[in-house]
Structure 1
Amino acid sequence: MKTIKVVVAGASGKMGSEALRMIKKHNDLELVGCVDLQHTGMQVKEVEGLPDFDALFYNDINTCLEAVNADVLIDLTSPKVGFKHTKAALLHDVRPVVGTTGFTSEELAELTAISKERQIGAVIAPNFAMGAVLMMQFAKTAAKYFPDVEIIEKHHDQKLDAPSGTAVKTAELIQETRKQKSQGHPEEHETIDGARGADFDGMRIHSVRLPGLVAHQEVIFGGPGENFTLKHDSFHRESFMSGIKFAIDKVVKLTDLVYGLEHLMMD
């Protein structure tokens, strides 16, 4: 069994620290470095609450990737930083597994081009929870029969992007099978701006941000005399770790960028 050497970016955050605990559970994974603005030069085991690893913290992605021999970068940071990290990883021939959302279409196109040119695999997933990926796929199928649909996504109040990457990805998948239409009454108007949520190709996306939430989404379809609802809840960040491990196992065999875990689950 070949050991996969991993760097984690955002390692001291809630998702990053959960990724460290996931690595600790798998004998085929080895943590070789962490990238974070905090704890530079410290070993992971020296930071309270983190697993017992000897790997060091670095505050710069390029410094880290030049200092360690890595196969995979797990990035769980923010859109701006995540793009920089993903690009740096590809240019260092390290395969990125990215859970950061909010990349622009131009950024995704640039990363895809670099991945293709260098034949280095990459996985960027708006959501690593297996149940959430299945929800998105079922929504795509349902939209063939229920073109009237609204998406409600709910996350913790520290999330930076809205709508969530999962909601946007869901809407994009629905768009592939749904006949385009503007929903609601043609004379509908908002008495308070934003009351009806974001308009994506005629369907509505609503974002909720509250303490106590983790990651939750409902896709509600309406038809004559009936409603059909798909719902997924992540109550703990551990829910994303099986998908990250799955992506790590897949990315080492890829030679291009894959956007969306569903493309790996459905192959």
Structure 2
Amino acid sequence: MHRGKGMKFVGDSRVPAERKPNVPKDYSEYPGKTEAFWPNFLLREWMVGAVFLIGFLVLTVAHPAPLERVADPTDSGYIPLPDWYFLFLYQLLKYEFAAGQYTVIGAVVIPGVAFGALLLVPWLDSGKERRPLKRPIASGLMLLGVASIIFLTWESVDDHDWEAAAQQGEIVEGVEVDESAEGYEIYQSQESCIGCHGGDMLGGAAGPNIFESDYDTEEVMEIIQNGLGEMPGGQFEGSDEELETLAAFIANDGQDPDNGNGGGDDEDNNEENEED
């Protein structure tokens, strides 16, 4: 094409004299470099997605979800642990400057500043350069943020008491507590007992399962009055009769001793008498 032929000069730009429709080129003009969206592209994507889906299903079968026992809102000693992608935020709440009366700083202010800065990045960094070495401030802040997240996540995992967490979430089977028994009502009135052993009496982070050990009524009463190990004594708030009723209820594995439950020998004798 000769200089200026078929062109209009409009200021400093050159515009074609004849406008042509913008028609995309056919696939045949790019052999081996492109393909039809349907069905070639979608078929390959579906095959890759099916492979990942099958792999995910295999993992869920091989490694079931780590379920815990039924949640007990009265268990004040329970140690919570969020999912791994929130561990760095959870760790912030353990520091003095972001905990206690400063919880708002760790829960709202610091995360708000960090994520707000990410939203403002297009306006804060309007340079045309995209190479990391040519953007020292942006690259440095990015590396600092990634390093902080990794460090806080590691600290959260390292500080967590995994043995206590496994014990507090252990599913206890075969224990059915008689909630209509008088001993259970007395237990529910003792906040110090519920705070350590939970409202269901199956234990928590601060206290074990009440029915783990085979103590008789007198031994249970002595433990309640004088304590055992880390369990302090003198925490029971009630009369001596209530203490004895509660101890008998615990010694009978959560069953009312007056209704015959747990008394295997007495039941056998009654059955023998009826047969005679």
Q: Going by fraction, where is helix more abundant, 1 or 2? A: 2
Higher relative contact order (CA 8 A, sep 6+): 1
Q: Going by fraction, where is strand more abundant, 1 or 2? A: 1
The structure whose Rg is larger is 2
Taking structure 1 as the reference length, the TM-score comes to 0.20
Taking structure 2 as the reference length, the TM-score comes to 0.20
